[in-house]
Amino acid sequence: MPSDNAVTVPALRGPAAADAWLHRYAPIVDDPEAFLAATKEPLPRVVWANPLRAPVSQTNAEIRALVPNAQPVRWRPNTWRLPPETQPGTWLAHLHGDICVQEEAALWAGDLVGAQPGDRVLDLCAAPGGKTAQIAVAMQDSGTIVANERKHGRLARLRRTLDRLGVTCAAVTCGDGARIRSMDGFFDRTLVDVPCTCEGTTRKSDGRREAVPTRYRDSIVQIQKSLLRAALRMSRPGGTVIYSTCTYAPEENEAVLSAIRSDQATIEPLIPPPGLQVSAGLPQWQGEIYRPDVVNAARLWPHHNDTGGFFVARLRRL
C-alpha cells in the first residue's frame, strides 16, 4: 500500500498514466533497464521480531516454522523476507505483537535515528507506527517518544500498532507538525518521514501507477520543507534529524535538503550496514545545483536490494 503519509494525488489519464513517467529517472540510475523491470515485480513481505513482546529467538523459530522458505534480511538482524503472497497480518504472532510487518527499505530510516534508552525522540509524521516501534525497541522502551500525526483518521491505527507491539514510552499527539511551537529545542532525535508522492511504491499491489502532476509535486514540496524546518527547530543543538521519503524525485529529496541553510544543519555521511546497497545523493538535477553535502544522503533503488524505492538523510542541528 502507499505510504501512510501519502496524500491523494489527482489521477492522470491516457499515455501520461503509463509507467513511462519512471523514465525521467533513467539518467540518475546505474542500470535503467534493471530499475524499470524491478518496479514491476511484486514486493516481498518483510517482518521483524519484536523483543518487547517475546524473546526474538522464539519468534524467529516461529517464523521459520510458518514459512520454511523465509530468508533472513542480510543487513538487519531478526528481520525476515517472505514471499509476496504471504499474509503475516493473519498470524497469531501478529495479533500478539510478536512481529511487525514493515517495508524493508523503510526500516533503515528508523534504525538511523540511533535512539538510546532515556532519549527524548520526536516522530513527526508517525502513522501507522512501525518506525515509532523501531525507535522504542532501540530505546528498550525507556525514555520519551512523541508520536505525532496530523490526520485524526490515522490516530486509531497508530495507537493500535503501538499497543499491539507493547510500546509504553510513546505519547500520541495530533497536530500539524509544521505548526508545533511548544517543544522547540526539546528533542535529542527527530524522525520526519514526510508526506510524499510515493513513487517508490510501484511494487505494492496498490502502489503508485500514475505520473505526478507538476502542480501537486510543487505543493507537497512546500509541506516537506516546512516539516523539515520544524523538525530542526524542535531538535536541541547537536541533535539528530532523519529526513526520509519513499519517492525518487530530487525535487522532494535533495532539493528539500538544499532549502536548509548550511548554518542551521549539516548533512552527515551515512554508512550502510553490510548487505545494504545504497547510492549517494545527487549534486544536481535538471540544471539546479544543490548544497554540496547532499551527496551524503542515500537512495535505495528497487533493483539493488529487491525493495521499494526510498531516500534518507541524517542532519545534525548546529
User: pLDDT tens across 121-146, in order?
Assistant: 999 999 999 999 999 999 999 999 99
> In the chain, where are the structural domains located?
33-42+104-317
Q: What positions carry a catalytic annotation? A: 246
CATH topology of domain 33-42+104-317: Rossmann fold (3.40.50)
pLDDT of residue 103: 96
pLDDT in tens, the chain (318 residues): 344 444 443 443 433 344 789 999 999 999 999 999 999 999 999 999 999 999 999 999 999 999 999 999 999 999 999 999 999 999 999 999 999 999 999 999 999 999 999 999 999 999 999 999 999 999 999 999 999 999 999 999 999 999 999 999 999 999 999 999 889 999 999 999 999 999 999 999 888 889 999 999 999 999 999 999 999 999 999 999 999 999 999 999 999 999 999 999 999 999 999 999 999 999 999 999 999 999 999 999 999 999 999 999 999 999
User: pLDDT tens across 205-229, in order?
Assistant: 888 889 999 999 999 999 999 999 9
Instruction: Find cell 505483537 and name the residue.
Output: 97
Q: Give pTM, 2 decimals.
A: 0.93
